[in-house]
Structure 1
Amino acid sequence: MFTIRPTTSKDIGQVDTLLARSYPRLLKGDYPASILVMALPLISRAQPDLITSGTYYGVEHAGRLLGAGGWTVAAPGGGAVTRGVGHIRHVATDPDTTRQGVGRALMDHILATAQAQGLRRMMCLSTRTAEPFYTAMGFETGTKVTVPLGPGIDFPAVEMSRAL
Structure 2
Amino acid sequence: MIVRDGGLDQPATAALLKAHLADMHASSPPDSVYALDLSGLAAPDIAFFTAWDGDTLLGCGALRTLSGGDGEIKSMRTDPAARGRGVAQAILDHIIATARAAGITRLLLETGTGPMFDAAHRLYARNGFVPCPPFGDYVATDFNRFLSRPL
Change (3 A) 1:25 1:99: farther
Task: Pick from 2, 7, 17 the counterpart of residue 15 of structure 2.
Answer: 17
Matched with 2:2 is 3
Give runs of aligned pairs for residues 130-149 of structure 1, distance below 5 A.
130-143=120-133
Matched with 2:58 is 66
1:42 offset after TM fit, Å?
A: 7.9
Structure 1 segments of 4 or more deviating over 4 A? 22-28
Give runs of aligned pairs for residues 37-116 of structure 1, distance below 5 A.
38=30, 43=35, 46-51=37-42, 53=44, 55-74=47-66, 81=67, 83-116=68-101
Change (3 A) 1:60 1:22: same
Structure 2, gaps ≥5 residues long = none
1:127 offset after TM fit, Å?
A: 2.0
Structure 1, gaps ≥5 residues long = 75-80, 149-153
Normalised to the residue count of structure 2, the TM-score between the two structures is 0.76
Identity of aligned residues (%): 23
1:48 offset after TM fit, Å?
A: 2.5
CA contact (8 A) 1:72 1:86 kept: yes
CA contact (8 A) 2:5 2:49 kept: yes
Q: For residues 142 and 55 of structure 2, what CA distance do their matches in structure 1 show?
A: 33
RMSD, aligned α-carbons: 3.2
Normalised to the residue count of structure 1, the TM-score between the two structures is 0.71
